[in-house]
Amino acid sequence: MLPPPASDSAAQLQRFPLEVRDAFRCFCSSGDVAALNLVVLAVVRDYMPRPAERELTDEMRLIEDLGFDSLAVAETVFFLEDLLQVRIENKELMQVRTLGDLRNFVAGKVEKKRSAIA
Amino acid sequence: MNVIPSPLRRVVITGLGFVTPIGNDRTTVLANLRAGRHGLAPVEFLGNPDLPVKVAGTVKDFSVDSTSWRDWTWPADYAIPRETLRGLAPHGVYAICAMLQALRDAGLPAEAIAGNDMTGLFCASAGSAKMGYHNLVQLHAVRGERGNPMGVVSAISGTLNFNLAAHFHITGAVCGFVSACASASHALGYACDEIQLGRLNRVIVVGAEEINAETLLPFVAMRALSGESDPRLASRPFDTGRDGFVGGGGAAVLVLEDADTAAMRGARIQAEVAGWGQAADGYSVAMSHPEGAGLRLAMQRALASAGVKPDAVDYVNAHGTSTPVGDRAEALALRSVFGDVGAHPRISSTKGLTGHPLSLAGAMEAAFCVLALTEGFMPGNPHLVTPDPACEGLDLPRTTVDLAPQIALNNSSGFGGSNVCHVLRSFRRG
């Protein structure tokens, strides 16, 4: 097993499976968006008020299909903000309806942050 | 018995649920009550062995010390889904388990109360100081920019009502009561009123409290807790050597129903709430009235509301927290209500066994009274050695009395001089 990333963010993933932690490590070192997608999916699954084993697909709506309520959405977003060190405004959040929206939105946020740093 | 016919509907108790320092099910609680076995255990808070709080009425088989629900464990008999867990305070876990137990005891499937407009839920808890503190520290650390979305519902003093109402889909009525150590007794009293008046057919009464540094240590600052490390010396209500109360936690649930509703569904009726009364001291923010004036009036009003004379009362479950001032005030109130008319009910404070579970006390002790009525015994005062002279003339048995009471009183008093008394009675039709 590889050592965990040194960042504080990695500690938040302690309760997640090894493959998720590895994906996050991969994303941190390479910026690989596919690895980030795996992390976002795992976080969504972790905050689903009614957990389900079914496969999660991009077209699924967070509230109507996955049983999220506004509090669970807020929990998910706060966790992703802390993990990825990005800031997501309420207004932006209103545009996110499906899992695909969320994945694209998070990827865009992270990309914007990387560009700003570069 | 002196029963005056009343046009009001009769209120009966059909289910009990226990998560207490002396047991997490009816059988264990009953055995420990009868045997006079306490549930106090050594505790240490904030890693400081020098604090003058050495024992508490702890809850066994649960682990809810963390501020994250993901770390909590509870007995496998009870299913609590993530959707519910995320908004709970630690004592909410106790409450859900006790409520599931009480519904089972009452023979009520979850679907019988879900969406039933004649079923209400009345709760009592002080909220979770632990969760509140944790959430606010986090909020301050990021200068208000980020908070726990569940921070409010898992911490403020309505946390029990919010969460249990949502979990069990209560639609009749939901309400919380905050009168410190009289809270659960108020919940039970007003539940009784709602049923008597025909507004609801059933009310589930829930009390719960957690045991942790944030709940208990503020009472150290008030010099209200016993510093004794020997449980038999730490919680000894009415003894001359008492030096403060011992904290306790857990949850207790009573299912109250209109007698006809209970009979129609073939429920096992365990006891009747014959009446209740309340009165206030108008004296101090924290101390009892020196002669227990408010509690005396609460008892008199409860007896009048039940149509019961003092000499018909067999057993009193006293508030008796083991504080010097409070126990003396209650003893004087009891002497005034009973001694002055030559009545001599057996009196005990079961807080000797459980410690003082604050908001939960009234529900837990009402449930103990129901056990006494149904199982035919009266709990004693096993830690009492030398009664305070203020108790002169009161019958304070040291051990369990194996006689079946027909009428029991349950006293509670809270900060601000809030006093409540219930009259519980063996149920007879007619």
In tens, the pLDDT along A99-111 reads: 999 999 999 988 8
Q: Is B86 in contact with A51 (Cβ distance < 8 A)? A: no
- Check pLDDT > 70 for residue A6: no
pTM here is 0.94
Question: Sign of torsion, CA B302 B305 B311 B314?
Answer: negative
- Check pLDDT > 50 for residue A2: no
- Check pLDDT > 70 for residue A4: no
From residue B169, give the alpha-carbon distance in Å to each of B84, B111, B161, B164. 12, 9, 11, 8
Helix axis angle, B90-106 to B159-168, nearest 10°:
50
Min Cα distance B380 → chain A (Å) is 47
ipTM of the complex: 0.82
pLDDT for position A12: 86
Residue with more model confidence, B314 or A116: B314
pLDDT for position B3: 47
pLDDT for position A9: 67
Chain B residue with CA closest to A14: the answer is B70
Residues in A closer than 8 angstroms to B87, CB to CB, are 71
pLDDT for position B6: 52
Q: Is A50 in contact with B87 (Cβ distance < 8 A)? A: no
b/e B181-206 (16+ beta carbons within 10 angstroms → b): bbbbbbbbbbbbebbbeeebbbbbbb
Residues of chain B with pLDDT under 50: 1-5
pLDDT band at A8 (very low <50, low <70, confident <90, very high): low
Residues in A closer than 8 angstroms to B148, CB to CB, are 75, 78
Q: Is B86 in contact with A50 (Cβ distance < 8 A)? A: no
Sort strands B418-425 and B119-124 into parallel, antiparallel or unpaired: unpaired
Residue B356: active-site member: yes
Residue with more model confidence, A117 or B345: B345
Q: Which of A71, A73, A79 to mutate to test the interface with B (most CBs of B within 10 A)?
A: A71
Q: Is A72 in contact with B82 (Cβ distance < 8 A)? A: no
Centre a 10 Å sphere on the Cβ of residue B426 and count the other Cβ atoms it contains: 21
Q: State the Cα–Cα distance between residues B330 and B318, nearest whole angstrom.
A: 8
List B186, B319, B383, B422, catalytic entry:
B319
Residue B91: active-site member: no
pLDDT for position B147: 87
Chain A residue with CA closest to B152: the answer is A71
Chain A residue with CA closest to B87: the answer is A71
Residues in B closer than 8 angstroms to A81, CB to CB, are 146
- Interface check A46 vs B, CB under 8 A: no
Report whether B410 contacts B178 (CB < 8 A).
no
Residues in B closer than 8 angstroms to A72, CB to CB, are 86, 149
Chain B residues touching chain A at CB-CB below 8 Å: 70, 81-83, 86-87, 146, 148-150
Structure tokens at B175: 């309400």
Which amino acid is it at B178? V
- Check pLDDT > 90 for residue A51: no
